[in-house]
Amino acid sequence: MCRNIKPLFNFAPPATDEDIRAAALQFVRKIAGTRKPSKQNADAFEIAVEEIFQSSKRMLEGLVATTPPRDRVSFEAARRLRFKKAEPR
């Protein structure tokens, strides 16, 4: 699950709120050990996603890059290629 969380800092174009929220959702799913919470746990699940989203957004806004932004499309293409090579045959 967490393998799907992508680096979000220092890219052009910058990460969107949707990107940050998707990473927060993946993190909460991993911690909870479930893709979809039960009705009883739905509120706690959503609160956790929102808190992690807000915290991550603040962190990304506060970080200072010391290198030029990386190209997101090129980075994703290289990541997919590495993942494909690592798959067992």
User: Quick one: which of 52, 59, 60 has its CA closest to 29?
Assistant: 52
User: Residue 65: is its pLDDT beyond 90?
Assistant: yes
Q: How far is CA 69 from CA 10, 11, 14, 21, 78, in A?
A: 5, 5, 9, 21, 16
pTM for this structure?
0.80
Tell me what pLDDT residue 1 has: 46
* Burial tier of 28 (Cβ tally within 10 Å: 0-12, 13-18, 19+): buried
Q: What is the pLDDT of residues 2-58, one digit of tens each?
A: 566 788 999 999 999 999 999 999 999 999 999 999 999 999 999 999 999 999 999
Element (H, E) at 12: strand 11-12
d(CA 72, CA 65): 15
